Structure 1
Amino acid sequence: MSLTRFATRLAAATVLTGLAAFGSAHAADPVVVRAGYIPVLGAAQAFVIDNQGWDLQNGFDLQLKQFDSGPNMIQAVAGGTIDAYIAGIAPVVVARGRGVGIKVVAATAVEELVIAAGPDLAKTAGSPAQAIEALSKKLGRPLKLATQPAGSVPNTFLQYWLWEVAKVDKQYVELVPQGIDATQQALLVGAVDGAIIREPALTIITGRNPDVKVLAYGQDILKNQPGNVIALTDDFTSKHPDIAQKLVELTAKATEVLKKDKKVAVAAIESAIGKGLVPAAVIEQALSSPAVKFNTDPASILKETALVQDYQVKLGTVKEATPVEQIFDLSYYQKLKK
């Protein structure tokens, strides 16, 4: 816990103690927001809100819990143990298609996914499709490309890039679905030939092994590629619309901090996902990566989300397309513009 958050909790406790003397402590209790997140920079707004104690200053307690993928987090949403989902948009699309009551209230980042090639693939000549085919034939097996589970943003966009953009022949590729940390480790130790990853994994991996190269950045996969979002359950927003509004407002505020105040940004990210294992210098470098583009406006990714959903239907992870407007609740962000 950061010193700022500790001080905020101490102040809140002091207020509660004083109110208790008048029998009013219960009214001042912060609303608990059970929030799941994945350990990527696209979730950094939540880290800033938590680290700076803004939640407690605004009447709620953002309790963060880490997950290794969006699909796993959606299971927690469906089970009623998570109020706020902070991860890729694709699992939200899948969940809405299955009748789960959850909607996107804010974006957090776009074009955050990159496709990284292991050393052997990186040094193989030709276009991505030619290089993948050539190395596959040389090794006598399909190339192993690590990603997250079916229905996730990485899985969806890796397949979109492979089959629709790079036009890779499917016989030369084997997808290896796994969690975010496992994907990073698999690429580092050479257990896979490539992977689709986000920051700070990209900076960590290329720092440790400069022979790992980027095959495609986010804009090469899909311009304005929708990435991490904040989605809230229908149950939570119906009970606490005021807290939902404050969360969106603070997300927009945190986005500006991430863009302008690297010191605060690095401290918040280090506290949440560095945990002494990722040096502050690495986090600061990752924040300057082409794969980090913070964006809060959910309306700005409507068109691309529709494309994502259509492709999920093609892949079979979504049975039938839902009108994209039903996946979002734009009202909270729209109030910020007034």
Structure 2
Amino acid sequence: MDRRQFLIAGSSLAAAIPFAGPARAQSVAARVGYIPVVGTAPFFVAQGEGWLKQGGIDVAVTVFESGPNMIQALASGTIDVYVAGVAPLAVARSRGIDIRVVASTAIGENVVVSAPSLTRFFTAGTDAAAAFKAFRAANGKAARLATQPAGSVPNTTLQYWLWEVAKVDKSDVEIVPMGIDATQQAILAGAVDGGSVREPALTILQTRNPQIKLVAGGEEVFPGQPGTVVAVSGAFVTKNPQAVQNLVSGLVKAAALIKADPTKAAPHVGAALGKGIVDPELIQKALVSPASRFEIDPRKII
């Protein structure tokens, strides 16, 4: 998928979102699938602050290791709400799945990092193509970069940066698809030479090993890069239009809170993403990272 196809996919998914109908007195159960990245923060802040409950939405959440892994759940009707990257939704629509983007949550999330094995080749004045070529010459093999499966936003943006922006020779890089947590662990363990990550992985990686280098930021990787979105099944939107409107309203309030008071927002995000094992200060740092840009208006990714 090239840049034009990527952006067209986002625009078609975000089109014609119907919000109408009377408010519902009873609560609506919403089964939510999400990926463990900071781009999902507005959803968890809205949940933690009680705004979804106040809007008549009772959520049950399930974590997935990547957006493409959620497509089967969408196809089988086992989730109503999708909180992950926009690119896999184009695949879902191509399979006849009625899924509609109702909000963005974050943009410009995906960045490229190098593990220590690759970092030493990114010297001052050395461009990416030359660095990867030098790595291959020194090691006799291509640099291995971890990212999420084909069809995901990280995979799409990484390949766009490698081949279209940095003009890296395809023989100098091997792309290794894996899950979000596995990517972080592989980079830390030195099992790969770098990869495409999002927050909080970027902050965690650089805190645990300062030799892990940010090679390309979000705007360098893919200018205007769309990222995490909230999408809802067509059946759920049709049946519960007011609940969907209340969900979006909660996301708007949550994004404003994250920007105004990340200290207050961080515990909600940490509870969902850190599972009690990530230092709350790391989550707070990730929320204000340059790789965390929260944007709810889906028109901004078209």
- Name the TM-score, length of structure 2 as normaliser: 0.89
Partner of 2:184: 184
Partner of 1:157: 157
1:52 to partner: Cα distance? 1.6
CA contact (8 A) 1:148 1:179 kept: yes
Structure 2: how far apart are the matches of 1:249 and 1:57?
A: 11
Letter in 1 for 2:215: L
1:298 maps onto 2:298 in alignment: yes
Gaps in structure 2 of 5+ consecutive residues:
1-23
Per chain length, whose mean CA-contact separation is higher, i.e. which structure has more relative contact order (CA < 8 Å, sep 6+)? 2
CA contact (8 A) 1:147 1:176 kept: yes
CA contact (8 A) 1:51 1:271 kept: no
1:84 maps onto 2:91 in alignment: no
Structure 2: how far apart are the matches of 1:301 and 1:28?
A: 33
1:98 to partner: Cα distance? 2.1
1:73 maps onto 2:107 in alignment: no
CA contact (8 A) 2:148 2:155 kept: yes
1:93 maps onto 2:90 in alignment: yes
Letter in 2 for 1:109: A
Partner of 1:196: 196
* Count of aligned residue pairs for this structure pair: 276
1:29 to partner: Cα distance? 4.4
- The SS at the match of 1:271 is helix
Structure 2: how far apart are the matches of 1:123 and 1:194?
A: 12
Partner residue of 2:40 out of 33, 39, 43: 43
Partner of 2:118: 121
- The SS at the match of 2:210 is coil
Structure 1: how far apart are the matches of 2:32 and 2:275?
A: 19
Partner of 1:111: 108
- Name the TM-score, length of structure 1 as normaliser: 0.80
CA contact (8 A) 2:99 2:231 kept: yes
State how 1:209-228 maps to structure 2 within 5 Å: 209-228=209-228
Structure 1: how far apart are the matches of 2:264 and 2:32?
A: 21
Structure 2: how far apart are the matches of 1:264 and 1:97?
A: 40
Structure 1: how far apart are the matches of 2:190 and 2:203?
A: 17
1:223 to partner: Cα distance? 2.0
CA contact (8 A) 2:262 2:288 kept: no
1:56 maps onto 2:17 in alignment: no
For residues 200-221 of structure 1, the C-alpha deviation after alignment (integer angstroms, 9 at most, x for no partner) is 0000000000000011000101
Structure 2: how far apart are the matches of 1:160 and 1:47?
A: 30
Larger helix percent:
1
Letter in 2 for 1:269: V
For residues 79-110 of structure 1, the C-alpha deviation after alignment (integer angstroms, 9 at most, x for no partner) is 10010000000001121122211011100001
Structure 1: how far apart are the matches of 2:27 and 2:168?
A: 52
Structure 1: how far apart are the matches of 2:53 and 2:301?
A: 30
Letter in 2 for 1:34: R
- The SS at the match of 2:293 is coil
State how 1:157-176 maps to structure 2 within 5 Å: 157-176=157-176
Structure 1: how far apart are the matches of 2:157 and 2:293?
A: 17
Gaps in structure 1 of 5+ consecutive residues:
1-26, 303-338
Larger Rg: 1
